[in-house]
Every structure is written in C-alpha cells, then in structure tokens.
Amino acid sequence: MSHLVHRSLHADPPLALRGEGIYLYDQSGRAIIDGSGGAAVACLGHGHPRVIEAIKAQLDKLAYAHTALFSCESAEELADIMVGHRPGGLTHAYFCSSGSEGNEAAIKMARQYFLEIGQPERTRFIARRQSYHGNTLGALSAGGNAMRRAPYQPLLSPAFSHVSPCYAYRDRAEGESDEQYVARLADELEAEFQRLGPDTVIAFMAETVVGATLGCVTALPGYFPAMKAVCDRHGALLILDEVMSGMGRCGALHTWEQEGVTPDIQIVAKGLGGGYQPIGGILVHGRVIEGLTGGTGAFMHGHTYQAHPVACAAAVAVQKVIAEERLLDNVQAMGARLEQRLTERFGNHRHVGDIRGRGLFWAIELVEDRAGKSVFDPALKLNERVKMQAYERGLACYPMGGTIDGRRGDHAILAPPYIATAAQIDEIVDRFGEAVDAALASL
C-alpha cells in the first residue's frame, strides 16, 4: 500500500504517468481519454508546449517573492488579462492557490467591505442547498452539499443559511411556468432576507452553473437577474462561484455574461490555470475595491503563495492560448455536438432522467424510473460503477451521487478539453454510453 493519503484508504488508484492532448497514460501504458478534464480543470488538455515553456521561463527568472514586499510580472500581467478591460465593472483580481481559497477570500472580502463602509451589522450569507464552494471550513459552511457537510456540521459557521437552487428538473411544480418558478425562488430569497433581517445580510452566493453537487445544472433564463434584484433591494452583494463553470467552460469567458448579471465578486479557479499549476482567485467589482480603499486600504487576508509567480505565468499562458486560438468558438461548436450526441444516445434511455449543461460542460442524471424520477439506492454506488466502467473503456469521466437527501439521482459529468475535435467528442460519447449501460447492467 502507498504511504500517500488517497481519497480512499482501502485501495490505491492507478498511476497517471503522462499526459498529452486529451489523453492521459496510466502505468500500463494505456491511453485514457480525459473526458472531464479531471473535475473540469484541464481546459487545454495535457502537455501544452506553450504553457510548459512559460512555466520553465518563469522558473528560470523567478520562482517566488513574498507579496508582503513584492509584486511580480506574471501576476500583474494576469490581473491585466483578467480585469484590465473591466468586464462588468470588475476592476481588481486577487490570486490564490485553489477554488476553496478563492471562496474564503470572497467571503472575507465581502465582510470586510461592509465593515469598511460602516455597516458592521452585516454578518450573514445566504447560499444555496445542493451547492459546493470548497472543502475548507468557510467554503464548506457556504456550500449546501449535505453529504460533505454532515461530518463537520459542528465546525461549520452559523453565519450561512441556504435557500433552494434553481433546479427545474426536480423542483419546478406541475404546471408552473419558467417565470412562475423563478418568481417563487426570488420570493424564497426575499423571505430569507426578511427572516435574517435584510440589513444583516452580506451577500447571496451561488455557482453560476451548479457543478459537482447537482451535475451541470443551468439556471432558467431570468433567474440570476431576479436574485440580483433581491440583493440590490437590500444592499447585499452577489457572489458568483465560477470555479468549475467559468473561464470558458460554458462557452463564454465568464458564465455570468450568459445570465444577464454582473457579480460583485466572482471566484475563478479550474480553467484559469488549466491544471498546469494550482491557481484560483477572485475578480472584484470596482465599488467593492472603492469601499476597501476608502477604509483601512488593505485586504485583511492573505496567503504565503498568493499571486505565485509560476502559477500566474502558467495561467497567463493558458489564457493567451484560449484567446489567440479562439478556443471558445470550439467550445461552442463542440458543445453543440456534445449536446446532440448525448441527446441521441440517452434521449430515450429509460434510466436517464435529464441531460443538461452548456458549452463543454454536460451531465446526465440517472434515475430508476423516468416518470417518477426516483433515484437508485445510494448503497448501489451507481456513480462509482459508471466511473470504473468508463475507465475500463479508456475514458475518465466525473460521476457523483450517493444522494442522502433523495432529491437528486446519481449523475456523471463530461467536460472535455476546449481543444477536443468532433471525432473525439463522438468517441467520448460512445465510450460513455457503453460505460453507463454496463454500470446499470451490473446492478
């Protein structure tokens, strides 16, 4: 047995030895299609020469300098790339090493903002059930993933409460229109503001497209504007977590661009550095920065490895490749193909209740029966079976499940790299289809 703490302490996972393009190679030399880019991370695929070159060049120049004293060229360049053109009024970027750290930074910056502008009574956050914002205690407090929260409940912050996500497949009532459902969710958020005391709320936090916990659940049109209107009414901020769904994954650089809202703070991570280095961050609206600047003039937060020179150099290279090679066009084109192929393969499948997503971020939800939307017994670990059957067929996908609240079935996410070709998309769906059927047959 290995001495490394793996996700399971019972069995060692296969070794990934090498990566090239959309393929990973394990110790048997087998090529595995990285059909989900890990957890929607490897947006450029593996071994991209330009990114590797940029990392080496940065290491030759400067590996590290402490941010208490220095800035560095790659971090400045990355901030310029991200917010130099002020997308949606976002003017500043802070870089850290993960999505969880990004969420912690967003939470703390939002709190500090209200302290600085003279509203210290704002101490509460409203987030959503069936959401995931990270595994550190602040981010886990924000998250509404019951299974992940349960063991740590006594350690989680009571400053966070949760409302329903926009999950039309399961939560829209019989005969309810999109507009009525959105209005009901806005009413629920309004009621939560009232319950807490509207002047005590710092922010509403949500994943723009729900990633791992529900599986690529997009909001209905009008949902985010309706939620933002509630926040605006009460002077609270909107924090959008695009760790998984952003940085081009859904076909636009920022997924909020597709929703008709701009966040006050946005969290980014996975597609920012594409897995070449650990990097996450927050993008911050000018008005929040003004609030901080007018107060103590410092963000009372930080990490040893924030704005790390090598991580930022990798992210600069990743973002330049995405822009210069116009990869978001490919995300849109291949995303349409992925949707079409998944619909052909699973549209009439008796155990596929929902096929959903956007761009190159798609999931199927597996149910015992389509009409009743009943879920498989979590003890069957269907999502694990899908993962193993896919791996046997040379495909890495990202299945989740083991529902404990009965409100969602097992699901599996596909999130191919932005460089995927039509033939590769077809191959991914073929292998995935076989894996899902084999997993179901094994029950």
- Inter-CA distances, 265 with 88, 103, 198, Å: 11, 10, 20
Nearest approach in angstroms of CB 442 to ligand PMP is 27
Binding ligand PMP (rule: CB under 6 A), the pick from 35, 37, 45, 99 is: 99
Smaller CB distance to ligand PMP: residue 217 or 243? 243
Residue 277 CA, distance from chain mean position = 17
Name the residue with tokens 């650990």: 278
Number of other residues whose CB lies within 10 A of the CB of residue 426: 13
Number of other residues whose CB lies within 10 A of the CB of residue 38: 15
254 touches ligand PMP (CB under 6 A): no
Task: Judge whether 81 and 314 are in contact, CB under 8 Å.
Answer: no
Residues 6+ apart with CB under 8 A from 145: 130, 131, 132, 213
Smaller CB distance to ligand PMP: residue 215 or 353? 215
134 touches ligand PMP (CB under 6 A): yes
264 touches ligand PMP (CB under 6 A): no
Binding ligand PMP (rule: CB under 6 A), the pick from 33, 217, 236, 244 is: 244
CA terminus-to-terminus distance, the chain: 29
98 touches ligand PMP (CB under 6 A): yes
104 touches ligand PMP (CB under 6 A): no
Name the residue with tokens 């609030």: 291
Judged by CB under 6 A, the stretch of 127-135, 230-238, 345-353, 415-423 that binds ligand PMP is 127-135
Smaller CB distance to ligand PMP: residue 247 or 428? 247
Binding ligand PMP (rule: CB under 6 A), the pick from 33, 212, 238, 342 is: 212
Binding ligand PMP (rule: CB under 6 A), the pick from 36, 74, 91, 103 is: 103
Nearest approach in angstroms of CB 289 to ligand PMP is 23
Smaller CB distance to ligand PMP: residue 249 or 381? 249
- Inter-CA distances, 172 with 153, 164, 209, 407, Å: 29, 11, 17, 13
DSSP 380: G
C-alpha angle 381/405/352, rounded to 5°?
Answer: 55
**Site for ligand PMP, residues 9 to 68, rule: CB under 6 A:** 39
Residues making contact with ligand PMP (CB under 6 A): 39, 98-100, 103, 132-134, 207, 211-212, 241, 243-244, 269, 280
